[in-house]
Amino acid sequence: MSEELSFDILHTVLDSAYEGIVIVDKQARIIHFNNAYSRITGIKKEQALGQPVTDIIDNTQLHMTLQTGQAERGKIQVISGQEMVVHRIPIWRGEEVVAAVGMLIFEGVSELHKILEMHQEKERKADKALADSQKKNKKQMVTLDQIIGKSKEMSETKRIARRAAKTLATVLITGESGTGKEMFAQSIHQLSPFADGPFVSVNCAAIPEHLLEAELFGYEEGAFTGARKGGKPGKFELADQGTLFLDEIGDMPMIMQSKILRVLQEKEGMRVGGLKPYRTNVRIVAATNKELEQMVSEGGFREDLYYRLNIIRLHIPPLRERKEDIPLLLSYYVKEICERYLASPKHFTEEAVKLLTAYNWPGNIREVVNIVERIVSLAEGEEISATDLPSMVLRHQDSHAPVSFSGGETTEVLDTVRKESMEQEREVIINVLKETKGNKSQAAKKLGIHRSTLYEKLKKLQIK
Ligand SMILES: Nc1ncnc2c1ncn2[C@@H]1O[C@H](COP(=O)(O)OP(=O)(O)OP(=O)(O)O)[C@@H](O)[C@H]1O
Ligand SMILES: [Mg+2]
């Protein structure tokens, strides 16, 4: 390539660069001054070329770079009244510095600082809001009696939870998705010696691997680019004297598994970029829907951490293994959702309950909530019958349902539902009557039923 051509190419590249670039010869005269530099400083190229750099650029140090031969990177320099980040790089030929390059990296560092500060301020506010809502939520946290289920399986699970809560031991909650693991974790906290402390929850699957350590253990100011001023406490610090809920622990990367294990053993944590460890006294409750034992045998989960976590095991059986709980859940959620949506009260027909009970509920209770929500918003009458059910429920009928609908057990289950929904209906009507101060026409209107229907109901439900 001819020298001329390389020179042209170099010029084009320099001129199209986004950064401001100035090059001086060994006498500190400007030999190149690119478009960006001109745009940023407002100095014309013709004015600059051939002039001593010290005459053209405020506060320049480029002549010093020629003398020292030292590169400087990321220095702040005030140019045209604005702080900017600059690099200064000497060009050596043999033993001699023959030129120096100055680069302006950011236009208006102060802008950048402002954006960064705004962002940090936002984060601080969000943290505070979270802390406040956690305080407020304390009373709204789930307790064991809000966990619906009277089946043998559920009663046993609750019994274990109650006993586990009283101890200081780590609890490992397992169960399919939507079985209520988070509800149990909160209930355990409420009944535990740590109930006065915070309940802090971390979803190990939702946080990118490289941020997880900072999230769990906190970081010091300047620990990495983007680390905010004053650093940030980690979840282990925030949960001190309370419960730390490690949700989806099966998704924790191996490297973090070792770090968690160390904290559990030594009760000491260390912030990213920190020098001194801090003490931490937290009760760990972990949950997963993965088969941890299998992960251990396949090398995906540390065996020693598994044993540390699995001190008390709380397994929540899937809904299809405790079908008696289905009617209870249906009647609870239909009432709750109607109230929440300000819809007139509804109830399931016997047949609908039968079909819903025979469904296999792969999404467990979360699916119950979703399906009831869908039905309530679509069904028009106050009765929810088989035709109102999603086709999926009709398609996936479990022929080996432990509760058959021919025996005495069935009648019992349906009786429970009937009683519950009658009680619920009774309660709603009484409340509406209270609101209308006993005016039945108004009450019927509010309930969205005919007055004669209301009279029938009052008689049937023995409301005076
Ligand atoms: N026994 C129950 N009684 C009433 N509601 C329940 C019960 N179990 C779960 N739910 C409800 O079902 C939904 C899912 O529960 P939760 O989030 O605790 O499940 P999870 O096991 O943590 O699920 P995932 O593994 O998907 O995180 C929530 O809305 C919860 O309130
Ligand atoms: Mg969960």
How many angstroms does the Cα of residue 182 sit away from the middle of ligand 1? 6
* Lowest pLDDT segment from 182-196, 207-221, 242-256, 402-416: 402-416
User: Which residues on neighbouring strands pair with residue 29, listed in sequence order?
Assistant: 52
Q: Among residues of the chain, what percentage have pLDDT more than 90?
A: 50
Mean pLDDT of the 286-290 span: 96
Mean pLDDT of the 83-103 span: 87
Most confident of 34-38, 86-90, 161-165, 229-233: 161-165
DSSP 236-271: HHHTTTSEEEEETGGG--HHHHHHHHHHHHHSEE--
How many angstroms does the Cα of residue 204 sit away from the middle of ligand 2? 11
Residue 383 CB contacts under 8 Å (≥ 6 apart), including other chains:
346, 347, 348, 349
Integer CA distances (angstroms), 210 to 54, 224, 259, 276, 383, in order: 45, 11, 13, 21, 52
Closest CA to 24 of 44, 52, 2: 52
pLDDT range class, residue 135, cuts 50, 70, 90: low
What's the rounded Cα separation, in Å, for the pair 301 and 252? 8
E strands, 242-348, where? 243-247, 268-269, 278-279, 283-288, 312-315, 347-348
Closest CA to 327 of 426, 429, 405: 405
How many angstroms does the Cα of residue 423 sit away from the middle of ligand 1? 25
369 lines ligand 1 (CB under 6 A): yes
Q: Please write the tens of the pLDDT for every residue from 207-243.
A: 887 788 999 999 998 877 777 788 899 999 999 999 9
How far is Cα of residue 359 from the mean position of the Cα atoms in its chain? 31
What's the rounded Cα separation, in Å, for the pair 74 and 87? 6
pLDDT range class, residue 415, cuts 50, 70, 90: low
More confident residue, 108 or 277: 277
Establish how many alpha carbons lie within 13 A of residue 115's alpha carbon, considering only the half-sphere containing its beta carbon.
Answer: 5
Residue 32 CB contacts under 8 Å (≥ 6 apart), including other chains:
11, 14, 21, 22, 23, 49
Task: Give the pLDDT of residue 406.
Answer: 39
Task: Give the pLDDT of residue 52.
Answer: 94
Pull the structure tokens for residue 189: 């906290």
Q: According to DSSP H, which parts of 57-99 are helical? A: 62-68
Task: Give the pLDDT of residue 129.
Answer: 74
Integer CA distances (angstroms), 207 to 127, 252, 302, in order: 16, 9, 20
Taking the CA of residue 289 as reference, the ligand 1 atom at the shortest distance is 25
Q: CB–CB of 252/202 below 8 Å? A: no
Residue 104 burial (C-beta neighbours within 10 Å; 0-12, 13-18, 19+):
buried
How many angstroms does the Cα of residue 334 sit away from the middle of ligand 2? 22
289 lines ligand 1 (CB under 6 A): yes
pLDDT range class, residue 29, cuts 50, 70, 90: very high
pLDDT range class, residue 410, cuts 50, 70, 90: very low
More confident residue, 449 or 328: 328
Q: Among residues of the chain, what percentage have pLDDT more than 70?
A: 89
318 lines ligand 1 (CB under 6 A): no
How much is the mean pLDDT over the chain? 86
Task: Give the pLDDT of residue 402.
Answer: 42
Task: Give the pLDDT of residue 356.
Answer: 95
Mean pLDDT of the 328-347 span: 92
Res 386 pLDDT > 50: yes
Task: Give the pLDDT of residue 125.
Answer: 76
pLDDT range class, residue 116, cuts 50, 70, 90: low
Ligand nearest to the CA of residue 178, numbered in listed order: 1
Taking the CA of residue 332 as reference, the ligand 1 atom at the shortest distance is 4
List of domains in the chain: 7-107 (3.30.450.20), 141-317 (3.40.50.300), 322-460 (1.10.8.60)
Tell me how long the chain is: 464
